């Protein structure tokens, strides 16, 4: 299946029923799994045999859907988590412990920014944020001997900046650490970070993958390319015996499957943040049309971005599909078929005009969500990122007047008409 084109994997990947089995992936709504003899159960617990025993660690519905995402990304293994936040936390915590350090782009989702900047330090893991547009030298200067990974988002939420994956992969590898890329906004339909050297990919499946605003979820995919044993001193969790598993060493016992096996057997066992099988089923329904939907999201967003770009009441716009955009060359390289449906822009005038504009929208709704079928709008400074100071906002590349417009799957003519009437109603002075 992995050799097929993404559109085929979206529809059929992950679940290949045998004769007489259900065509659609079934929901294994069961916490436990039965075995005939206690010896086999013991082998499962020792990780000597693969199989299911308790849904806190793994479930067949989840694994079928995770396999589809792994095939889409071109990875060797994947796991579903209860949320995108859990995915990013597990992705980092699987290779870090107290006393370690990570480097992250500062242009990332607000929740991840808090996780890295506030919560990980409470666990003894420090993060240095870097401007991803800084020079190689400046970024390299953030690395320390105890740095364990480099992190960024393919297309940043909410700013819409495009991450130079290949450049960052080279910097990470020069320091003997993996590059973790949050590929939520691009999805593997539009970008596969492993092809550019990323080692681990994460997703908030809550966004385009689900696509209909129905199920919170996350996913971690491993490329299988990072050679943990070559940097064994940096990654003792993978390269030295795990006493909680009878002295088993993940990297030698599981090879390319080591990273996901450890995250499942150890982190899921102890921290328990698995996606419910019901949500995995809904996610799979979304994935079946991901390739069709992404194309429409991008087409609609391109039309609306071009309209906003040319309207004199719009102060600025960041959408990498516009030829005069700073990130257009990177988008041409990494996102040749389009990026995503999210547009960041600011109106002329003050905050009041921005709020009048948003409150005047009729078809387009104000919701704390992004990247689904229904077009929506959000003002990060007063909603998702309200816990950040103005300085942190600017550091994260978010202007206080930034409006995030997530373009959905409606008819673009109707969306444009709604935006036009709301701009009129906002009564913006064109200084
Ligand atoms: C939403 C989002 C997250 C967090 O995902 P949840 O599913 O809401 O926990 C992480 N990264 C990005 C880029 C996101 O857009």
Q: Where in the chain is the domain with CATH 3.90.1150.10?
A: 291-426
Fold of 7-286: 3.40.640
Instruction: Tell whether the model's pLDDT for residue 326 goes beyond 70.
Output: yes
Instruction: Give the per-residue pLDDT at 429.
Output: 81
Report the mean per-residue pLDDT for the chain: 95
Residue nearest atom 12 of ligand 1, based on CA coordinates: 109
Pick the CATH number of 291-426 from 3.30.540.10, 3.30.499.10, 3.90.1150.10, 3.40.309.10: 3.90.1150.10
Confidence check: pLDDT of 303 > 70: yes
Ligand 1, residue 217: give the atom nearest the CA.
7
pLDDT average, residue stretch 294-307: 98
pLDDT at 161 over 70: yes
Mean local confidence (pLDDT), 170-176? 98
Is the model's pLDDT at 193 over the cut of 70? yes
pTM: 0.96
How many whole angstroms from 85 Cα to the centroid of ligand 1? 6
231-244 pLDDT, tens digit each: 999 999 999 999 98
**How confident is the model over 328-372, as pLDDT tens digits?**
999 999 999 999 999 999 999 877 888 899 999 999 999 888 999
Residues 395-418 have a mean pLDDT of: 91
pLDDT at 128 over 90: yes
The pLDDT value recorded for residue 431 is 60
Q: What is the number of residues in the chain?
A: 431
* 390 CA from centroid of ligand 1 (Å): 22
Q: Any residues with Cβ below 6 Å from ligand 1, and which?
A: 83-85, 88, 109, 111-112, 153, 157, 182, 184-185, 204, 206-207, 216, 218
CATH 3.40.640.10 in the chain: give the residue spans: 7-286
**Span 244-298, pLDDT tens digits:** 888 999 999 999 999 999 999 999 999 999 999 999 999 999 999 999 999 999 9
d(CA 198, ligand 1 centre) in Å = 19
207 pLDDT exceeds 70? yes
């Amino acid at each position: 299946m992995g050799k097929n084109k993404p559109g085929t994997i979206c529809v059929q990947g992950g679940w290949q029923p045998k004769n007489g089995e259900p065509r659609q992936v079934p929901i294994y709504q069961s916490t436990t799994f039965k075995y005939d003899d206690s010896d086999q159960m013991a082998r499962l617990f020792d990780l000597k045999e693969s199989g299911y025993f308790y849904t806190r660690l793994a479930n067949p519905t989840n694994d079928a859907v995770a396999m589809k995402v792994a095939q889409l990304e071109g990875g060797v293994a994947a796991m579903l988590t209860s949320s995108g936040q859990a995915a990013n936390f597990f992705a980092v915590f699987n290779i870090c412990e107290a006393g370690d350090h990570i480097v992250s782009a500062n242009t990332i989702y607000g929740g991840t920014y808090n996780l890295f900047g506030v919560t990980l330090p409470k666990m003894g893991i420090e993060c240095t944020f870097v401007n991803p547009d800084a020079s190689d030298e400046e970024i390299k200067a953030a690395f320390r001997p105890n740095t364990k990974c480099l992190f960024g988002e393919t297309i940043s939420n909410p700013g819409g900046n495009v991450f130079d994956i290949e450049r960052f992969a080279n910097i990470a590898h020069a320091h003997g650490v993996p590059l973790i890329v949050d590929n939520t906004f691009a999805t593997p339909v539009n970008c596969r970070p492993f092809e550019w050297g990323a080692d681990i990919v994460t997703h908030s499946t809550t966004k385009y993958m689900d696509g209909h605003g129905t199920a919170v979820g996350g996913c971690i995919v491993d490329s299988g390319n990072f050679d943990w044993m070559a940097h064994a001193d940096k990654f003792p969790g993978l390269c030295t015996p795990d006493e909680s598993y009878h002295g088993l060493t993940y990297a030698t016992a599981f090879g390319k499957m080591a990273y996901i096996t450890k995250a499942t057997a150890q982190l899921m066992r102890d921290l328990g943040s698995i996606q419910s099988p019901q949500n995995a089923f809904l996610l799979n329904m979304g994935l079946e049309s991901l390739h069709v939907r992404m194309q429409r999201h991008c087409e609609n967003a391109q039309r609306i971005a071009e309209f906003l770009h040319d309207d004199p009441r719009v102060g600025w716009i960041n959408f990498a599909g516009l030829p005069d955009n700073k990130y257009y060359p990177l988008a041409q390289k990494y996102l040749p078929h389009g990026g995503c449906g999210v547009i960041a822009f600011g109106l002329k005038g003050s905050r009041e005009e921005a709020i009048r504009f948003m409150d005047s929208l009729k078809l387009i709704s104000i919701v704390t969500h992004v990247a689904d079928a229904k077009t929506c709008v959000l003002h990060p400074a007063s909603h998702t990122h309200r816990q950040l100071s103005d300085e942190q906002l600017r550091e994260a590349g978010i202007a206080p007047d930034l409006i995030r417009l997530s373009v959905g799957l409606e008819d673009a003519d109707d969306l444009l008409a709604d935006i036009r009437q709301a701009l009129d109603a906002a009564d913006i002075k064109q200084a």
